[in-house]
Amino acid sequence: MKIEDARVIVTSPGRNFVTLKIVTDEGVTGVGDATLNGRELAVASYLTDHVVPALLGRDPSRIEDTWQYLYKGAYWRRGPVTMTAIAAVDTALWDIKGKVAGLPVYQLLGGRSREGVTVYGHASAPDTESVLAEVARYVDLGYKAVRVQTGVPGLQTTYGVGRGRMFYEPADAAVPSEATWSTERYLAHTPQVFARVRDEFGPDLRLLHDVHHRLTPIEAARLGRDLEPCRLTWMEDPVPAELQEGFRLIRKHTTTPIAVGEVFNTIWDCRQLITEQLIDYIRTTVVHAGGITHLRRIFDLAALHHVRSGSHGATDLSPVCMAAALHLDVSIPNFGLQEYMRHTEETDQVFPHSYRFEDGYLLPSESPGLGVDVDETLAARYPYKPASLPVNRLEDGTMHSW
C-alpha cells in the first residue's frame, strides 16, 4: 500500500480548523487534525509545501518511521507549527492502520484500560452567583468534574470566561484584541468563588480551575494555598512554563495539584516537570504534541513519575483530535481526566464522528480506525476567517501573559 494523495482542508464552521486527509492507492483514507489556534495557515503551508510532497509514495503502515523521518528530517526540530503538522500525519496514519486492521485504534494501543473516559466541562460566568447556576447545569448533565472560571470584579473581560454556554471561543479578532488584567483583584476573588462552589456542591464533585499562565511562581503558590480547603482536582497553567524549575517554588508551598502542558509540543517541554514530579497532570494533546505516537511516549514517561494525563480539549481542537485523544485516554494506564468543550452543530456536521457522551464519560468509537471523518463538500462552504487569541495588559499598560 502507498500514499497516493494528501489533502489539506481549511474550513471555518464557526471557527477555523485545518485537517489533513491521506488517501492510499487502495482507497483507504485517514484524517488528522492540524489546527493551531490563530496560526492555522502556517501549519497548512508547512503541510502543503513541505510535508505532503515527501509523503507521496510512502508506505502508510510505517507510522514510527514516518514520524522519525518528519521530525529528524526537517533539521528544525520541535515548535508548535512543525509538531502540529507531524501530529496530523501521525493521526491519519493510525486511522488508516485501524481501518486496514478492521479495529478501533484503541485496540491497536493495547485495548481498554477503563470503561469510559471521564471528562470535565466548563462552567464559566461573569460572577459567582451566575457561575453556581452553570455548575449546577453541568452536574445535571451528568458531569463528574467541572472547571470553574468567573469574571474578576473591576475587570471588563477575563480570558477563559465564555460568551456562550457549552463552549467558548477566545480567538475573536484578526488582530489580537487587548484586555486588562490585575493579579491583585484575581487573587482576592478566586478563593471566594471556590469556597461558595464547594459549599454548594459538596465534597464529591471534582473542581478545576485554569489560571491561563497569568501568575508568578510565588503568586501561584499563594493561590494554591488559598484554594487548599476547596480540594481542587487541579490548578492549571499557574505560570508560563518555559522555566520548568519555577514549579519547584509552587510545589514547596502548596498541595493543590498542578496541571500543565496544553502549549507544549514535545516530551522535552515537560521532561523536567515530569521527572522531578513537579506536576500532577500533563495536558499535552494529540494535535499539538506530535500525534498519537509522541503523546503516548509523553504519557509513558509520566506514568513512571506518578503523573496522570489530562489532555486539552477546547473547541479549537477538532472532533478529529478528540476522537484520537479518546483512543489513547481509554487505553493508557495513567489516564486522569479529559477536557471536553463541545463543538457547534456546524462543526459536528463537518466532522461526522461516533464518539459519544454518556453520564459524565466520553466513549470512543468502536468503528475501525478513529471513527471520525471530514465532509469535504460541507467544509468548502465555510471559508477561513482570520482570528487571533487576545492579549492582556496590566492596568498600567504593561504587556502580560494571555
Closer residue to ligand KDG in complex, CB, 96/260:
260
Stretch that binds Mg ion, among 99-107, 130-138, 189-197, 206-214 (CB under 5 A): 206-214
- Helices marked H in 149-281 — which ranges? 183-201, 217-227, 246-253, 271-275
Q: How far is the CB of 262 from ligand KDG (least distance, A)?
A: 6
Question: Of the listed 106, 120, 138, 159, which one is catalytic?
Answer: 159
Partners of 33 in beta bridges: 19
Beta strands in 278-355 (DSSP E): 281-282, 308-309, 338-339
Residue 212 known to be catalytic: yes
- State the greatest distance between any 2 C-alpha atoms of the chain, in Å, as a whole number: 61
Q: How far is the CB of 314 from Mg ion (least distance, A)?
A: 7
* Sites for ligand KDG among residues 66-85 (CB under 6 A): none
| Residue 325 · residue 311 · CB < 8 Å | yes
DSSP-derived letter for residue 363 is: E
DSSP-derived letter for residue 47 is: I
Given the C-alpha cell 499562565, which residue does it identify? 213
Q: How far is the CB of 242 from Mg ion (least distance, A)?
A: 16
Kindly write out the interface string for residues 257-286 of this chain, putting x where it contacts ligand KDG by CB under 6 A and - elsewhere: -----x------------------------
Q: How far is the CB of 314 from ligand KDG (least distance, A)?
A: 3
Distance (Å, whole) CA 74 – CA 96 = 24
Tell me which of 40, 90, 134, 210 binds ligand KDG, using CB under 6 A. Answer: 210
| Residue 361 · residue 116 · CB < 8 Å | yes
Q: Is 226 in the site for ligand KDG (CB under 6 A)?
A: no
Question: Of the listed 212, 213, 294, 343, which one is catalytic?
Answer: 212
Count H helices and E strands in the chain, helices first.
Answer: 14, 16
DSSP-derived letter for residue 335 is: B
From the list 365, 290, 337, 262, the residue with the least C-alpha distance to 79 is 290
Angle at 226 between CA 221 and CA 393, to 5 degrees: 60
Q: Is 314 in the site for ligand KDG (CB under 6 A)?
A: yes
Distances in whole angstroms, Cα of residue 254 to Cα of each of 226, 234, 277 = 9, 12, 14
Distance (Å, whole) CA 312 – CA 329 = 12
Q: How far is the CB of 402 from Mg ion (least distance, A)?
A: 9
| Residue 11 · residue 380 · CB < 8 Å | yes
Tell me which of 269, 316, 329, 373 binds ligand KDG, using CB under 6 A. Answer: 316
* Sites for ligand KDG among residues 146-185 (CB under 6 A): 170
Tell me which of 90, 134, 210, 280 binds Mg ion, using CB under 5 A. Answer: 210
Q: Is 37 in the site for ligand KDG (CB under 6 A)?
A: yes
Closer residue to Mg ion in complex, CB, 10/321:
321
Distances in whole angstroms, Cα of residue 25 to Cα of each of 54, 132, 168 = 16, 54, 40
Residue 159 known to be catalytic: yes
Q: Is 40 in the site for ligand KDG (CB under 6 A)?
A: no
Kindly write out the interface string for residues 366-395 of this chain, putting x where it contacts ligand KDG by CB under 6 A and - elsewhere: -----------------------x------
Q: How far is the CB of 211 from Mg ion (least distance, A)?
A: 8
Q: Is 211 in the site for ligand KDG (CB under 6 A)?
A: no
**Contact set with ligand KDG (CB under 6 A):** 37, 170, 210, 212, 262, 312, 314, 316, 339, 389
Which residues are catalytically annotated? 159, 212
**Contact set with Mg ion (CB under 5 A):** 210, 262
